[in-house]
Amino acid sequence: MAEELWRSPSARPRGAGHLDRAAWEDEPKDGKEAARRRRANFLRQVPLLRHLGHEDRAALADEMQAQRFADGAPIISKGQRGDCMFILEQGGAAALVDGAEVKQYGAGGFFGELALITKQRRSADVVARGPVLALTLGRVSFERLVGNVGEKMEETRRRLRAAAYTGE
C-alpha cells in the first residue's frame, strides 16, 4: 500500500525541505481518529493552547495539517505572505533575521501567528534544526477557531486610549 501511495505523484510530499520516502512512510498508519487523539493530547501541552477545553482542542486538531521538514530546510521565509501558523510537534527550529539567529523553538513552540493576526508579511526566516514535524493551522481556520485577534487587539487599544483620555 505504501509503495502504491509513494508512486502516486499527488501523494508524495513536495517542496524543498520535505523528508525523503523513508521518513514519509514513518507517518502513523493507525488511522485518522488515533492521529486526531494524539494531536489533541499534544495540543493540551502547548502553553498557548493549554486553556482550551477538550472539544476545542479536538476541533483544532481536526483543522491542523502535519508537515515534515529536513534539517536546514526553510519553514518560513521573510517577506512571504502569512497563510498559516506552525506548532512544532517534534524537532526544533530557529528564527533568523538578516542571517542572525534571534530565537530558537522546540517541541510545543509556535511561530507564524503574527502574520495571521496583523495580516502583514513574514518578518523573519525560520529554518529547521534537525528533522521537524510541524502542525500547521491556516488563516481561515485560525480566524474561525481563535477569532479575529487583530481586530480584537485594535478594539482593546481604542478602548484603552479612550479610557486614558477621559481619565476613567
Q: What is the predicted pLDDT for the residue at 29?
A: 52
Contacts by residues 37-45 (CB-CB < 8 Å, ≥ 24 positions apart) = 37/61, 39/64, 39/89, 39/135, 42/89, 42/135, 43/87, 45/108
- Asked whether the whole model's pTM tops 0.85, one would answer no
CA dist 168 and 89 (Å) reads: 44
pLDDT above 80: residue 18 = no
DSSP string, 64-86: -EEEEE-TT-EEE-TT----EEE
Q: How do residues 99-151 score in pLDDT, each as one tens digit?
A: 999 999 999 999 998 888 888 899 999 999 999 999 999 988 887 766 655 56
Mean pLDDT within 20-31: 46
For residue 166, the model assigns a pLDDT of 58
From the DSSP assignment, how many helices (H) and strands (E) are in the chain?
A: 7, 6
Residue 154: its pLDDT value, please?
Answer: 65
